[in-house]
Structure 1
Amino acid sequence: MSGGVATRNDCVKLLLSPPSHLYSFLYNPVDQFSYLFKFLIIGTAGAGKTCILRRYTERKFIGNMPHTIGAEFGSKIISVDGTAVKIQIWDTAGQERFRSMARSYYHDAVGALLVYDITNRDSFNALSHWLSDVRQLAAPEVVVILVGNKLDLQDQDGQVTHWEANAFAQDNDLHFIETSALTGENVDESFLHCTRTILAKIKSGDLDPDRLGYGRQRNILGGIPGGDRPLPLTDTQPSVVTYHNDCSC
């Protein structure tokens, strides 16, 4: 900082290396979960990515959100077919000038929501670039869900039809869903489908957490130490953390 005033570089450093005390109040050591998955929300600026994150993690809609610089972070524990899973979600910047920075969050992510704005043709046209990035930089087994957001505006302002988005999804082997962060429609379902698909890959052996080496972190109370803190920004950060316990959650 200079003269007590935070510069843009200070903000960027804080986003990339947040001090641990910022997350200490989040950590609840009695949290019980079997897996920890790293998710991304990616796509062009203005597609509603941060609104989707807030709707999913905080159950509320905040309009007129400023564009994300670096990434926003949220987490949530859900139960999927009897298995407790903690999802750590990185909502990355969609502006082109921050794109190289956003890529630093991709490493080893095991799930991704590829978001476009139903009312913005340009956001749909840019999907191939975002998809190429995540498949190149995330975990090889990454599960990508195509999400058409702002479904509530489709009838009055829609520029991308369900048919053409579904065709893009089929051509690229993606599951497709349309959501509204405003009303909450299908927001939970998009994360649920992605999580369930990852669990199915683990069950079938297509994704092996033990092979990845992330199955040995646990504490006596049943959580993963630091489990509420964002996974570190390193080339070896885990995309899946397995925890075996006697809890029936």
Structure 2
Amino acid sequence: MSDASNQQIPGLKLKKVFKIIVLGDSGVGKTCLTYRFCEGQFLDKSEATIGVDFRERNIKIGGEDIKLQLWDTAGQERFRKSMVQHYYRNVHAVVIVYDVTKPETFHSIASWMQEVESHGLMRAPRVLVGNKCDCGTPESRLATTYAQRLADKYGMPLFETSALLDSECDNVESIFMTLAHKLYSKQPLRVVSVEGEHGPGVVNLQRQKRATSSNDGCLCS
């Protein structure tokens, strides 16, 4: 009799799936960053995230198919209270974003790190991202050396970028690919469905997204 572990279920295959959460205050550009990475373009009509915005992208590392699931949470505390526990479940990596033109969003990083620590993710791969480098003037933006000191304190790399500028697309790519490569060698395979197949015996799991509402703020929300 063959071993049950060697049996394959039609319509399913093994694939590494990494859940990456994106944290930061409201309006720092979390949604635009995930959209730029997954869709390859800027999100022209960005709306404030209510609850969780979910996107995913398939990549290849070492010839193997990898699925990155990006979870973008609302920055406003009133929208986060009801879903924080679900949001932090089974997380593999963390991205913390601040707006280089708004010092208050940078000062909030300490509280975001406390939340990360409270959910046992200090050993997970983490990156710090200064977004909206296209905004303001060099004098009005937070100094890179200041941000680098904080990144070093928490033991994570620093990226400065813009979700708006096409010229920064490679830099946005590097943020998530850096995490993917760190995770690749140490995470087990998970079973995921083969979307788009409709033959006999195929299991098809659909993606789910939360609704969003309008926002009158910056385009890069």
The total of aligned residue pairs comes to 191
Cα gap change, 1:78 to 1:154, in 2 (>3 Å): farther
Contact 2:12 2:192 (8 Å CA) reproduced: no
State the AA in 1 paired with 2:153: D
Which residue matches 1:15?
none
- How far apart, CA to CA, are the structure 1 residues paired with 2:193 and 2:83? 32
Instruction: Kindly indicate whether residue 147 of structure 2 is the aligned counterpart of residue 165 of structure 1.
Output: yes
- How far apart, CA to CA, are the structure 2 residues paired with 1:50 and 1:166? 23
Which residue matches 2:180?
195
> What's the offset of the Cα at 1:59?
1.6
Contact 2:94 2:126 (8 Å CA) reproduced: yes
Identity of aligned residues (%): 31
> What's the offset of the Cα at 1:62?
2.3
Instruction: Kindly indicate whether residue 41 of structure 2 is the aligned counterpart of residue 60 of structure 1.
Output: yes
**1:131-150 residue pairs with structure 2 within 5 A?**
131-137=113-119, 139=121, 141-150=123-132
Match for residue 158 of structure 2 among 169, 176, 182: 176
State the AA in 1 paired with 2:162: S
- How far apart, CA to CA, are the structure 1 residues paired with 2:137 and 2:105? 18
> What's the offset of the Cα at 1:154?
5.6
Structure 1 runs not aligned, ≥5 long: 1-28, 203-207, 231-249
Contact 1:107 1:138 (8 Å CA) reproduced: no
If the length of structure 2 is used for normalisation, what is the TM-score?
Answer: 0.75
Cα gap change, 1:193 to 1:219, in 2 (>3 Å): closer
If the length of structure 1 is used for normalisation, what is the TM-score?
Answer: 0.67
SS at match of 2:94: strand
CA RMSD of aligned residues (A): 3.0
- How far apart, CA to CA, are the structure 2 residues paired with 1:116 and 1:47? 5
- How far apart, CA to CA, are the structure 1 residues paired with 2:17 and 2:203? 12
Match for residue 153 of structure 1 among 124, 129, 135: 135
Cα gap change, 1:44 to 1:225, in 2 (>3 Å): farther
Match for residue 84 of structure 1 among 43, 61, 65: 65
State the AA in 2 paired with 1:89: L
Cα gap change, 1:218 to 1:177, in 2 (>3 Å): closer
Cα gap change, 1:31 to 1:55, in 2 (>3 Å): farther
Question: Larger % of helix: which?
Answer: 1
- How far apart, CA to CA, are the structure 1 residues paired with 2:193 and 2:206? 14
SS at match of 1:155: coil
> What's the offset of the Cα at 1:111?
1.2
Q: Deviations over 1:114-150 (max 9, x none)?
A: 0000011000000011122123226564211101101
- How far apart, CA to CA, are the structure 2 residues paired with 1:120 and 1:31? 46
Structure 2 runs not aligned, ≥5 long: 1-9, 209-221
Match for residue 47 of structure 1 among 28, 31, 35: 28
